[in-house]
């Protein structure tokens, strides 16, 4: 059993994933089982989601959380889904102290609530809702290298039994999905999405951090695939937890609507082992 938890990045896709899981729902179920089987059960999950952002970092240290249905225009059944895990107020206090010691103007709120980028993932990974969750609202207008630095400041949590989970999307251009009518969920992937996802995979395997930090200029179709990059930046926070020495490992490879990538990655010294466990 590896005593260091990997950090993970999950592409959460459309809120409809909760009702139409495709290949990603079963993957998330296997991921939760693999983490339980081969690593210490996480004592808490620190979640960095594209849908919880702020002008300065904010830790949502409520004693309990509820699912927030932060979307509109979907079937009624989606709004009936709930996910109500315990919060992690003590962990919030500890993380606040660490980030303040590093000079970050972090805030601690007693409010709670899990956006759909968090609860839609955890409903598959941890259906029992039995692990405390600490959302960290982060600053989306900082570049990838600074998001990575935030992750580095959180790295010791992985040795202490805290699973750091970034949630966003490896590609995210909603205009492509909604202009001209929504494509089928299983539509053939467009070349721009495939090229960008392949570039991220190749640069990750090469641990080419300089290129990855400069993805917006160097990656093919970067601005097309991320007109704004708040959905990719949680990848860098999770990567910072794993550190520069270890190549990010892609755990899941999928696309919905032809251009909304569902890739998942793991980071850190136990990331490759987790990949092997999931492939077995």
Domain ranges of the chain: 7-279
Q: What confidence score (pLDDT) does residue 198 get?
A: 98
Strands 249-252, 264-267: pairing is antiparallel
Residue 18 host element (H or E): none
End-to-end CA gap in the chain: 16
* Rounded distance between C-alpha atoms, residue 54 and residue 3, angstroms: 32
Task: With beta carbons less than 8 A apart as the criterion, state whether 7 and 156 touch.
Answer: no
| pLDDT (0 to 100) of residue 40 | 73
**Residue labelled with tokens 């989601």:** 49
Q: Give me the architecture of the 7-279 domain, per CATH.
A: 3-Layer(aba) Sandwich (3.40)
Which residues of the chain carry a pLDDT beneath 70? Answer: 1-2, 38, 180
Indicate if the alpha-carbon torsion angle 27, 84, 6, 46 is positive or negative. positive
Helix-then-strand count for the chain, H and E? 13, 10
Q: Decide if 22 contacts 64 (C-beta within 8 A).
A: no
Model pLDDT, residue 247: 98
Q: Compute CA 92 distance to the chain's CA centroid, rounded to the nearest angstrom.
A: 19
Beta bridge partners of 7: 267
Q: What is the DSSP letter of 87?
A: B
Nearest CA to 14 out of 139, 116, 88, 89 is that of 116
């Amino acid at each position: 059993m590896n005593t260091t938890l990997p950090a993970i990045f999950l592409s959460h896709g459309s809120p409809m994933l909760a009702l139409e899981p495709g290949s990603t729902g079963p993957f998330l179920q296997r991921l939760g089982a693999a983490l339980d089987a081969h690593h210490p059960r996480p004592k808490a999950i620190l979640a960095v989601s594209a849908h919880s952002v702020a002008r300065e970092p904010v830790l949502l240290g409520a004693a309990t959380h509820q699912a927030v249905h932060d979307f509109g225009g979907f079937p009624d059944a989606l709004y009936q889904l709930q996910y109500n895990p315990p919060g992690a107020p003590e962990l919030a206090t500890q993380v606040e102290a660490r980030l303040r010691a590093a000079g970050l103007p972090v805030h601690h709120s007693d409010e709670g609530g899990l956006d759909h980028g968090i609860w839609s993932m955890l409903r598959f990974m941890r259906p029992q809702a039995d692990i405390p969750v600490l959302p960290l609202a982060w600053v989306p207008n900082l570049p990838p290298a600074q998001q990575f630095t935030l992750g580095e400041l959180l790295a010791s949590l992985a040795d202490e039994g805290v699973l750091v989970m970034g949630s966003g999307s490896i590609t995210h251009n909603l205009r492509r999905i909604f202009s001209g009518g929504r494509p089928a969920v299983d539509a053939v992937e467009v070349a721009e999405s495939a090229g960008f996802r392949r570039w991220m995979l190749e640069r990750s395997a090469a641990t080419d951090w300089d290129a990855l930090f400069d993805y917006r200029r160097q990656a093919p179709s970067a601005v097309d695939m991320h007109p704004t990059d708040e959905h990719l930046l949680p990848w860098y926070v999770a990567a910072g937890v794993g550190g520069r020495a270890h190549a990010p490992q892609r755990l899941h490879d999928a696309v919905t609507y032809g251009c909304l990538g569902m890739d998942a990655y793991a980071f850190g010294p136990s990331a490759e082992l987790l990949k092997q466990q999931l492939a077995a």
